[in-house]
Amino acid sequence: MVKLFGPAGRNCDGTTRRSFLQWGALGLGASGVAPGMSAPAATTRAGRANSVIVLFMAGGPSQNDTYDMKPNAPAEVRGPFRPISTRIPGLDVCELLPGHREIARHLAIVRSIHHTQTVHDDATHHLQTGHPLPNARARGQQHPSLGSVISRLTGERSADIALELPTYACIPDDYRTHAGFYEGPSFLGERHAAWNTGLDPSLARYRNPEFLLSGRLTSARLERRRGLLSLVDGELARLDAAGGPSSFSEAQARAFELMTNPRVKAALDLSDEPAGLRDAYGRELYGQGALLARRLVEAGTRFVNVNLYEKDVDWWDDHYKIEEQLRRRLPRFDAAFSTLIRDLESRGLLATTLVVACGEFGRSPRIDSGGGRGHWPGAMSVALAGGGIRGGQVVGATTPDGGEPSERPLTPGDLIATIYRCAGVDPTTSLVDREGRPTPLIDRGSPIQELI
């Protein structure tokens, strides 16, 4: 069991006086070390994935229109699309996903994930953290996300932090931008928060990565700030009678190194990529986000969330006009996902990079009068590849209408336990929360044995 210990003399929110002042002086968002956090404990590498990429399909993709087609069902159940076969028996996919044929031998499709959370926030909290949370929007994130846990338990850094990239990254935004994503560190503290990475400048919604220098902040000005913060930190150390801290926090040093680290800038520069490859991924958020994820794991990042979501523009909550929406969205997803798998394989990275594509729930079995499908946690499909996963198979099955599991019912906890196992994290590990209570990584679940 892994435990996190904190110092005596905390404020009611778990912060010490000095850590609060250090965080306030720095003003660099997610670069802080969580108050009272010890260094990550050693983790036995039980899995094969050095990195994990999650393509999160926020809103909930329809299982009946993607990976669990029902061609013999009534029209309102089977939907407007037809299945296409792959070389793997039983692994049929939607006709709008032709790129999946080329990667079928790597794919494992799980068709029988189910849970009971019918609200986006509640279900997303479950899929991002392994813990269901009714009324999540009002209560806020209560458990650390997968990326934060993997950062905490496997993100040991080398002595030369100038050579390191962030352990955990989100593309393009994380929980601080979209409160409903629940990708934050919770009680693990901001040291294990994700870095917002931004995207290719050619995209209309590009926002500069938070850890790169802005146009007005030069390296010389940054160095002057470093010196000033060092002086302030020294004064705080003298004033803190209980002290004994280092003169410059690890968080501050980490932030400054990242902001001036050429490796970080190089990893984020998609202009290095051949035009043909960028075209194959797709020249929009889905494709360029997946390409950036590959560059980050290639450079050493352990966990990347690619949010396939553009607020007020495009997400997977298809209550209306589902045919029109999916005819536009599925080809983009197909190009991004299938090209990512092929690209990782060509670089020798697929065996050590787990790729997962999922949303927070599925969609209702029947298309309604508005031409859409409602929220449906009773059944959802998940696609996995690489990272030690046994590809070329389908796990589980659903009823003839796709409404609930008929074979091998599984839960989000089982999926998340599988991800942890592949990443070398024992899914039975517990961490200690702010109140000193041991908290399991997942509410319940165990690795899906067919996949590992």
At 12 the pLDDT is 37
Residue 94 in any domain: the answer is: yes
CA distances in angstroms from 92 to 22, 108, 263, listed in the order given? 55, 12, 41
Residue 16 in any domain: the answer is: no
Tell me, what CATH number does 416's domain have?
Answer: 3.40.720.10
- Over the stretch 288-346, which tens digit does the pLDDT of each residue have? 999 999 999 999 999 999 999 865 557 899 999 999 999 999 999 999 999 999 999 99
CA dihedral angle for residue 415, residue 420, residue 424, residue 430, rounded to 10 degrees: -140
Q: Is the pTM of this model over 0.85?
A: no
Residue 245 in any domain: the answer is: no
Are 168 and 151 in contact, with CB atoms under 8 Å apart?
yes
199 band by pLDDT with thresholds 50, 70 and 90: low
Range picked from 28-37, 119-128, 242-251 for highest mean pLDDT = 119-128
At 338 the pLDDT is 98
Chain mean pLDDT for the chain: 81
Residue 37 in any domain: the answer is: no
Residue 235 in any domain: the answer is: no
At 61 the pLDDT is 98
CA dihedral angle for residue 200, residue 201, residue 202, residue 204, rounded to 10 degrees: 100
At 220 the pLDDT is 56
What average pLDDT does the segment 35-56 reach?
Answer: 63
- Which residues are bridge partners to 380 per DSSP? 113
Are 289 and 308 in contact, with CB atoms under 8 Å apart?
yes
Domain that holds residue 284: 48-208+271-427
- Over the stretch 216-267, which tens digit does the pLDDT of each residue have? 544 555 455 555 555 555 555 554 544 443 434 555 555 555 666 677 778 8
Please give the tally of structural domains in the chain: 1
CA dihedral angle for residue 162, residue 168, residue 173, residue 175, rounded to 10 degrees: -120
Can you spell out the DSSP letters for 213-251?
Answer: PPTT--HHHHHHHHHHHHHHHHHHHHH-TT----SS-HH
Here the tokens at position 338 are 């299938």
Residue 249 in any domain: the answer is: no
- Over the stretch 59-83, which tens digit does the pLDDT of each residue have? 999 999 999 999 999 999 999 999 9
At 269 the pLDDT is 84
At 43 the pLDDT is 42
Lowest mean pLDDT among 37-51, 75-89, 298-312, 403-417: 37-51
